[in-house]
Amino acid sequence: MEAAGLPLRFELDHDFTDALAHLAGIRTRRRLERDPVYRRIKPQLERVLRGFEWDLEPTLGTQLTPRRPGVVRVVAWNVERGKRFAGLRHALVHDPLLREADLLLLTEVDIGMGRSQNLNVPREIAAALGMGYVFANYHIVLAEGDRGERGHGVPNTKAMHGCALLTRFPVLRFEAVELQERKDKFHATEKRIGNKRALLCELLLPDGPLTVALTHLDPFTGPRQRASQLRLVAERLRRFGGDRMLLGGDLNTNTYDLGSGTGLAYNLLYKLRRFGFEGTVEQYMKPEELLERRVFDELRAIGLTIEGYNDFERGTIYYDVYDPEMARKALDYLPPPVCRAVMRWLERRLAPWDGRVPLRVDWFAGSGLRPRDPRVIERPTVDGRIISDHNPIVIDLDLELETPA
């Protein structure tokens, strides 16, 4: 969509909140498709699932000035729904690195979810920072959340979940790419309708246009399917165009197939046989070399590189055997007695890492740009509480401004 022909603000809204509890009680996709309530609201639901929300007014009349002369700072962060919202807002406003961001690429953001106080997370964050935003919806969520997010007792209102690009610079156009998912999330632990989408935006920086692709690949599948999803993004990027491109987000390069317990067990046994236990842990920090190589091949196929855009020394998420929420999620794959035995085994084997091993799942890739100082901000906390299960990643882009003769 060309931003020039759009209103400055648009709220993605719906009036089927009262139907959500009814849809949540339907057990199968086949019954859902026959249900009269679903069939009545389906046209509106499809509009919301493929919809956008935006506020571009803060980007008008900004003189195209970044927060620091000659440099555009970009942050990509999976903010885990925004469910620790007060801490998230505080970090983005006060952290020395985050507060100088000119672009924020946020994945896992809620609008009207009880787990995040039914806030409009992208709008609230953008308002706190004085930035414009574009939100692309993924899902209508029919549950309180995943296994570790249940029991808060706050009903969902809008029940939307997606990604958002926040910007200090004008948005020229935007569109989304629907990503095919192998597992129907209507039958997932966190029951929902819809698919992830990649958000493509063309922005006007002080030195010209920049195409940004905000991408969130599926963790509940394997590397081959993630590569197929990224191929869809790459093909659309070619058509979308732009001499300079930046892709960022959560590529979920966890080196596993989390779509089923069987797939997970096969992945783990394969790694242990090939690399041993320590070697398996080492692979988590270099997925681009072997186990998720297909994903990075798709980036290279359209001329994007990860070199110079990422800090390869630090992980962006951790497997923490002592994290209670991680243990609850393990119950999605294993019966309780087996789960407890596996967790005790992992405690012993991961003792050399203090029970916590890093993985690299969040990435930047670019072309036609001059990146510098890639960083990972380790486990930002506010009042002793970790804000998200992911670490934010940061990159500075040098502007190509002409200097006076």
At 160, phi and psi to the nearest 5?
A: -105, 150
Strand partners, 178: 197
**Contact between residue 371 and residue 308 where contact means Cβ atoms under 8 Å apart:** yes
Average confidence (pLDDT) over 144-159: 91
40-82 confidence digits (pLDDT tens): 999 999 999 999 999 999 998 766 788 999 999 999 999 999 9
Q: Which two tokens stand for residue 239?
A: 């058509």
| pLDDT of residue 162 exceeding 70 | yes
Would you state the pLDDT for residue 187?
A: 92
Judge contact between 116 and 82, C-beta under 8 A.
yes
Cβ neighbours of 385 (radius 10 Å)? 10
Judge whether 323 and 355 are in contact, CB under 8 Å.
Answer: no
Average pLDDT over every residue of 250-279: 89
Q: How far apart are CA 242 and CA 223, in angstroms?
A: 28
Rounded Cα distance between 370 and 238, Å, is 21
Asked if residue 162 lies in contact with residue 39, where contact means CB atoms within 8 angstroms, the answer is no
Domains and CATH numbers, the chain: 3-253+292-316+361-398 (3.60.10.10)
pLDDT at position 402, please? 62
277-304 residue pLDDT tens:
999 999 999 999 999 999 999 999 999 9
Q: With pLDDT > 70 as the criterion, what percentage of the chain qualifies?
A: 98
pLDDT mean over 244-260: 93
Average pLDDT score over the chain: 93
pLDDT, tens digit, for every residue of 217-228? Answer: 999 899 999 999
Is the pLDDT at 341 greater than 90, yes or no? no
What is the rounded distance in angstroms from the CA atom of residue 394 to the CA atom of residue 140?
30
Amino acid at site 199: L
**10: which residues sit within 8 A by CB, 6+ positions away?**
52, 53, 54, 55
Amino acid at residue number 303? G
Task: Give the residue from 188, 125, 116, 192 showing the smallest Cα distance to 154.
Answer: 116
Q: pLDDT value at position 342?
A: 82
**293 CA to centre of own chain:** 20
Cα 172 to chain centroid, rounded: 23
Bridge pairing between strands 103-111 and 71-81: parallel
Residue 269: pLDDT over 50? yes
